[in-house]
Each structure stands twice: as C-alpha cells, then as structure tokens.
Structure 1
Amino acid sequence: MSTRNMQPPRAQTPAQQASLNKLLIAKLMPLLVIVYVISFLDRTNIALAKHSMGIDLGLSSAAYGLGAGLFFLTYALFEIPSNLVMHKVGARFWITRIMITWGLLSIGMAFVTGETSFYVMRLLLGAAEAGLFPGVMLYLTYWFGREERARATGFFLLGVCIANILGGPLGGALLELDGALGFHGWQWLFVIEGLPAVLLAYVVWKVLPDRPTKAPWLARDEAEALERRLAAEQDGQGGHGAGKSAHSFRTCLADRQVWLAILVYFCHQLTIYTVIFFLPGIIGASGHFSPFTIGLLSATPWIAAAIGAATLPRFASDSARSRRLLVGGLVVMASGLVVAAYSTPVIGLLGVCLSASMFFVVQSIIFTFPSSRLSGSALAGGLGLVNSCGLLGGFVGPTVMGLIEQSTGRAMNGLVLLAAALVVAAICSLRLRHGAEDREAAADTPAAHKAI
C-alpha cells in the first residue's frame, strides 16, 4: 500500500476506531481461525498416531521424532518465497492454493508404508503448507494498526488451541475405528482430518477479501480511509526510517532486531512443537489409558493456552508493556516445564498447563516487533524470514526429544533443556525494540541510553 498521490487520512475518534476494529475482527477472524484449526490438526495429528503407526510401520521413537520435525525443514525453506508471492497475487488466491495442496497431502499420509515414505510425505506436507502463518501475519497488517495487531494475532492463534482441544478427543475417537473397512485407525485419522482443508478452500476463495477496498461489507470511503491510515503508519515506521529503505527486503536482513526476534521465536517454537508431538506419548506412558482418554488429557493444556491467547495480548498496547509481557511469558513457560519434569504425573500435567497458558501470548507479541519496523516487500519477506528461521525449532525440538527418549527411556528429561532455552529467550527479549522506540532514541540520545 503506497501513500503516493493519497490525501492524508482523516482522524477517527477512538469510538469509531474501536467500532471498526470490532467489525474487522468479527468479519475476518472466524474464518482465519477455522483455517488455522484445520492446518494444525493436519500437521500435528501424527502425535496421536505415533503409537499405532510405530507398531504397524515399525517406526522407532527417533524415526518418529525425525519425521515429525522434517515437516518444518521444507516449511521453513518455502516460507519467504511463499510470502513474497502472496504479497503480489493476494491472500485469497494464495491461501486457497495452500489449503488444497496441504489437504490432499494430509490425506496421502494414510498411505505411507515405512520410514522413507513417512519422511517424504512430511517433507511434502511442509512445503505445501509453507507460508500460511506468515501470510496471515502479513494479511493482518492490511487491516489492523500496530496497537490492535497483537490482539488480532491472539485471536488467530486461538486456532492452535482449538485444534489441540478438539484434536485430542477427535483423534482418539478416530483411532478407535481401527479395522473398519480394512483400514487402521491412524489411516482413518489422516483421511477424515485432511478432507476439511480441501472443502474449506472453496469458502476461502468465495469469502476472504484481499484488502479493505475489496470487502463488500465495508463502505468505500471507510475502506479507503483505513488503507490510507495503515499505509501512512507503515511509511512512517521503522528503525531505518521511512521511504524506500524500509520497503527493501535487504532492510530486514540488516536489522539486528529482526534476528533477535528470530532467536526468541526459535526457542519458543522448540517448546511448543515438542509439547505437541510428545505430550500424548508422555501421558500414555504414565498410566493405562484408552486412546480417547489420552486425547482428552492431552487437550487440557490447550484450554489454558486458549484462555491466555484470548485475554492477555490486549495488554501489549505499547512497546514497554509488550516487552514486559513477552519476558514474563517466557519465564512462566520455563517454570511450568521445570515443574513438569520433576513432579508426579498429575502435577506435571498442571505444570504443562501453566507453561501453555503463555504459548500464544508470547507468539502474538513476538511478531509485533519486526512488523513495526518494516513495510512493503521487506515486511512480507521479513515476516517469512522470522517464521521460517523460528520454525526450525519445530524441527530441532521433536528430533532431539526423540533421541533423548530413545537413549534415556524418559521423554521428560528433554523438558529441562527446553526450560533453559526459554530462559535464554527471556534474557534476549529484554533487548527487543519496536520501530517507534528507535525513532524516539534518535530524537533523544540520552533517553535511549537510559532505556537500555
């Protein structure tokens, strides 16, 4: 969005802006949340399939951990080009394409026959889904200003919570179809959970507007005013100053703050995906539970995560509050994992719930830092860069956890390493700055030294 040849945006009253933001959330977020629910069901349902797949296909814990993580290698590799393409062709077309390909490949997971085909399908699934999350992060910048974006992102991340709340009981029930029509339970799991992505792609194509001026439910002058206001905000932000430099992809590569956000996000993703892929197995090893009961117990941390995502990101209303909430959230996550590692199964599950309550509070805030500093193709590529590099944690975490479980016989030992990584992330987060803080520092150097 360019401000060239545009009149300055007319100021809105706080009540008008609040009313508009409520409308945008009501119109956009339900569909985006449903998309993310299905996406997470399809990328993480192997957590519930782990035990039965391991028996039927002869997969070891290390092979499972590697296959779970391989998804993130190709996901990370294709993130940046996917986001740059979406910036050019529009969100509606590109998200539709992503959903069709990942849905078909998720169904194809039902037909893997061993380690090699398992690895290949996970790699293909990662490539197919690449770009969805950073694409939505970019899409939200077309609709929400910086102050509202963390709240909108928090709503979007509810999709992960809902997926894990529903996915446990649903996946457990599907696994109990074992033997129906000659299919294993895990095959039913992949087929039935893959179909909705293909079907919902049609709804996305018909309903999702590319930007405000394409939304039939916004008045033309209101949509144009919103685009002008957001364009003015983007052109005026960034530690590198406004103008062409803020729009160049090289800008994000040279910005140390972007790389700091990547480090924090990497440690965060280590934790989330290790918990997602190994919690059902940890619960199953602690007692004689049916697949459905394991699914129900696995869902409890995600209820806590949903409460956190729905209530806390709105407090990240300025730079200082965002940083405090980010650091505090990472420390709480680390504390919960330490409790889980050294407690009884019941207390351990409560520790995971404590950690999970901050999963998406932290994630929704991390992306506000790079997005407050970049615009244009730098914003599209930068968000893809942060997500792709950060998501390598989704490869490293499950892979290392699988090796630890296989060598020690106890998956809980890996939680202590995750807690240490989160403490490192919390320390690094103290140095994160929004673009507005850089401008203030340039205007008042002594104040900048005080802040540091």
Structure 2
Amino acid sequence: MTALTTEKVLEQDSAEASACRKAAIRLVPLLALAYFFNYLDRTNVGFAALTMNEDLGLTASQFGFAAGIFYVGYCLFEVPSNLALYRFGARRWLARIMITWGFFSACTALAQGATSYSLIRLLAGIAEAGFFPGVIFFLSLWFPAHYRTRVMAWFLFAIPVSSVLGGPLSAAMLSMDGMLGFAGWQWLLVLQGLPACFLGVLCLKILSDKPADASWLTAEERVALQSALDAEHEAKESHSFRQSIKDVRVWLLAAILFSYIIGILGIGVWLPQILKTHNLTTTQIGWVSAVPYLIASAAMLLWAKVLARKRRYILHLAITCATGAAGFIFSVVYSDFILAMVGLTIALIGLSSVRTCFYSIPSTFLSKQAAAGGIAFINAVGSLGGLVGPYAVGWLKDYTHSFSAGLIAMAGMLCLATVLTLVLMVVVKKSGSGQG
C-alpha cells in the first residue's frame, strides 16, 4: 500500500468516525427518549393498577389479560409496519408510530371497565407496532457493526431508566387524584402518553433516513459512512424477507425472545403489586421499585462495554438469561423483603442486559433487504410473550393467592431461553456465520 493510499484510508476512517459521532449525538438521544416513553407506556399500567383496578372493578386475571392484549395488536401489525417503514422511510414512519401510540395511550384514561380498557390497549398495540424493530433497523442503516453495539446499549438504556424514573414519577401522578375531577391513574396515563406525540413531530425535523440524506454531515463524512455501511451489507448473506423466515436461526431467536419477554414484562407489569404485598405505601413503592432498576442500568452499560470488546453475543445472551432466572428463583426461596429485593435486582441485571446481546445477533447474518422484515418477524413472534406473561402471573396470583408461582414460572421460561440460546450457538457454529 502506497503512502498516498494509506493517507486516503486514514482520512476515510477519520471521516467515518466523525460521522458516527455526529449521528450518535443527533439521533440516539431523541430515539432513546422516545423509547423511554414507549417502555413507560408498557409498564405504567402496573402503577395505574394500584388504584385503577378497584375503580374499574378488575380482577388480577382481567388486568393481566387487558395488559397483555396490547401485544395481540402489536404482534399482528409488527411485520406490515416495518415493511412500510422500509418502503416509506424511517423518519416519516417512526413519527407516525409515535404520534398514534401517544394518542391511544392517553385515551386509556377513558376506560370504563375491563372491555373498554382491553379495547383501547389493543388499539395502542396496533399503533405502536414496529417502533422497536424499526429503530433497530434504522440504527443498522446508520452505524457500522463496530459502533452499533455501544450505540444500541445507549438506546436500550432507556428501558431501565424508564423504570428508575417511572416509579417515583408514577407515584407522584397518582397523588394528583381528584384534581379537576380526574382520578390519579387517569392523570398518569394522559401525562405519560401525550409526550410521544410531541416526540413524533420532532422526529420529522431531526431524523434523516440514511447518511446520504443528512445535510448536517460534510460531503466527506456522508461518503465515508455510506461506503462503510454498503460494504458491510454486501458482505452478508443475501436474504429476502421470505428467505429469512425459513431460516432456523430466525425461529430460534423468536423463541428465545418469546421466553425472555414473559420474564421482563411479567416483572415490569407486576412489580408494583408485588411490592404492595410487603405493606408499602404507593409513594414507597414508587421509590423502592426504582432501586433495582438503577443498579440494573449501571450493570447493563458495563456489560455492553464488555460485549462491544468481546463480541460473543450468543454466549453473553445465554449468561444474561440464566442470570435473570437465578434472580427470580432466589427471590422466591428467600422471601424476606430485603433478600427478595436482592433476588429481583439480580434478575433485572440479567434481564436488562439481554436486549443488547440479543439485538446484536440478527444483523450478523441478515442482509439489509431482509433486516427490516426479519427483525420485525422475530419481534412479532417473540412479543407474543407480552400477552402470556402478564396474564399468566395474574392467573397464578388469583389461583394461588401468591406471586411466588408467577416468579417461578418466569424463571422457568428464562431457563428455556438459556437452553434455546445454547442450541442457537451450535447452529451458528455449524453454519459458520455470526459470532458465538
């Protein structure tokens, strides 16, 4: 390689790094904030239920079903939504998703009973379908693999942060009970739903569909970053969406995600009511629930740093799922409040770190053509766990009059996820693709 050629390569690398820094600063905070409210919308019903269930006359099973039916609409429209995103562009489609989901989330405050509550949550799921896999696909259009893991970790950081801040925030909003004639849970749902509409409008102004469209990058940065991304996509196996859903790796990932989501949403929706069994007040529940998520947030970032260096995505996926299972089992065996909280914290450390490992895997073997639909398909099938998890925990609570059975069930599903991940590791090694 001549000195002139070496200089050009270094200049391109420098331009690529500069473009990624600018993109991370401009795009990731907005998307992470949107995901903060997105995930808050899925779990804030757990806090609303502290008073809403009595007002609407909901049993634990009815509440669990209504919270879970959100995922029926979400899963049915996941793949069509992401194919539309691929066709119309991420900027416009992500904005549409945010505006409509924010509207229906706020409308949940209008529920009058189990039927209307379930119907509105179904519509909210339809509106929100495609957001998460859409963002994952969008990040793959902007960041090469060696940047993507850390960028994804900062985006996913919104999940535990939403739980850290969401607890005290939700408790404070519940205290607005009676203001202007509305119940506290109604204020909670409206004030945590409407910000998504504003963020959707902001997306139209700030996002760009791909580096080539970004006027805020220099010409050199646009060319360098787009060239790196094009080279990366060309190096992958050629898949269409139809081919991707015939791939055993895609189905294994969907099954792993299904098992995982039963655990993460089971605890996300029911943690406030689990804490209520320890005779805590609503305000205490808000603050106490934040502690395990705060610890899990820090652990997730540290884990992502290790993952970015090692790139052993599948191995770390197995470890994180097993950690979640171990934490749930510990919280049942040692049911004293302090020890139970230690167990739940261990579980949440594992559960919070799963996604960074998991969503780094599909892009290692799916081409750009298949990624939008393939990731959406994995997410759609896997997200059915969102219907099973909350309902199963509620049904077991009604049947056994204890949350212990639900915690054991979630641990069992995470053990299954661990086994399936080990199977995936064997399949990947045989195919010679991806990172073990």
TM-score by length of 2: 0.93
Q: 1:212 to 1:262 in 2, by over 3 A?
A: same
Counterpart for residue 164 of structure 2: 165
Cα distance in 1 between the residues matched to 2:55 and 2:344 = 30
Cα distance in 2 between the residues matched to 1:126 and 1:52 = 23
Shift of 1:319: 7.8
Counterpart for residue 420 of structure 1: 412
Shift of 1:17: 5.1
2:291 matched to 1:300?
A: yes
Shift of 1:198: 1.4
Q: Is the 8 A contact 1:140 1:149 kept in 2?
A: yes
2:343 matched to 1:356?
A: no
In the TM superposition, 1:323-362 aligns within 5 A as 323-343=314-334, 344-362=336-354
Shift of 1:147: 3.0
Cα distance in 2 between the residues matched to 1:193 and 1:314 = 31
- Find 1:378's aligned residue among 370, 391, 413: 370
Letter in 1 for 2:203: V
Cα distance in 2 between the residues matched to 1:28 and 1:225 = 18
Letter in 2 for 1:273: L
Q: 1:107 to 1:414 in 2, by over 3 A?
A: same
Secondary structure of the 2:58 match is: coil
Secondary structure of the 1:73 match is: helix
Secondary structure of the 2:423 match is: coil
Q: 1:398 to 1:214 in 2, by over 3 A?
A: same
The unaligned stretches of length 5 or more in structure 1 are 1-9, 443-447
Counterpart for residue 67 of structure 2: 68
Letter in 2 for 1:337: F
Counterpart for residue 271 of structure 1: 263
Counterpart for residue 4 of structure 1: none
Q: Is the 8 A contact 1:369 1:432 kept in 2?
A: no
Counterpart for residue 88 of structure 2: 89
Counterpart for residue 369 of structure 1: 361
2:254 matched to 1:262?
A: yes
Cα distance in 2 between the residues matched to 1:42 and 1:285 = 23
Shift of 1:439: 6.8
Cα distance in 1 between the residues matched to 2:9 and 2:398 = 60
Q: Is the 8 A contact 2:16 2:224 kept in 1?
A: no
Q: Is the 8 A contact 1:273 1:397 kept in 2?
A: yes
Segment drifting more, 217-226 vs 71-80: 217-226
In the TM superposition, 1:24-423 aligns within 5 A as 24-238=23-237, 242=238, 246=239, 248-287=240-279, 289-317=280-308, 321-343=312-334, 344-423=336-415
Letter in 2 for 1:117: S
Secondary structure of the 1:368 match is: coil
Shift of 1:16: 6.0
Letter in 1 for 2:155: F
Q: Is the 8 A contact 1:319 1:434 kept in 2?
A: no
Cα distance in 2 between the residues matched to 1:51 and 1:429 = 36
Cα distance in 2 between the residues matched to 1:405 and 1:73 = 22
Letter in 1 for 2:114: E
Q: 1:190 to 1:118 in 2, by over 3 A?
A: same
Cα distance in 2 between the residues matched to 1:106 and 1:434 = 42
Letter in 2 for 1:215: A
Q: 1:435 to 1:150 in 2, by over 3 A?
A: farther
Secondary structure of the 2:366 match is: coil
Q: 1:220 to 1:433 in 2, by over 3 A?
A: farther
Q: How many pairs does the alignment contain?
A: 427
Cα distance in 1 between the residues matched to 2:392 and 2:59 = 14
Counterpart for residue 22 of structure 2: 23
Q: 1:83 to 1:165 in 2, by over 3 A?
A: same
Q: 1:371 to 1:131 in 2, by over 3 A?
A: same
Q: Is the 8 A contact 2:18 2:221 kept in 1?
A: no
Q: 1:411 to 1:11 in 2, by over 3 A?
A: farther
Shift of 1:338: 0.5
TM-score by length of 1: 0.89
Cα distance in 1 between the residues matched to 2:40 and 2:112 = 21
Q: 1:438 to 1:150 in 2, by over 3 A?
A: farther
| Identity in percent | 35
Q: Is the 8 A contact 1:74 1:123 kept in 2?
A: yes
Secondary structure of the 1:431 match is: helix
Give me the CA root mean square deviation.
Answer: 2.2
Letter in 1 for 2:392: V
Shift of 1:360: 3.1
Shift of 1:216: 2.6
Secondary structure of the 2:203 match is: helix
The unaligned stretches of length 5 or more in structure 2 are 1-7
Q: Is the 8 A contact 1:82 1:131 kept in 2?
A: yes
CA deviation map 1:420-447 (0-9, x unaligned): 22122112212335999667579xxxxx
Q: 1:317 to 1:181 in 2, by over 3 A?
A: closer
Q: 1:299 to 1:84 in 2, by over 3 A?
A: same
Letter in 1 for 2:146: E
Cα distance in 1 between the residues matched to 2:311 and 2:19 = 26
Secondary structure of the 1:326 match is: helix
Segment drifting more, 356-365 vs 406-415: 356-365
Q: Is the 8 A contact 2:15 2:224 kept in 1?
A: no
Shift of 1:143: 1.1
Letter in 2 for 1:298: S
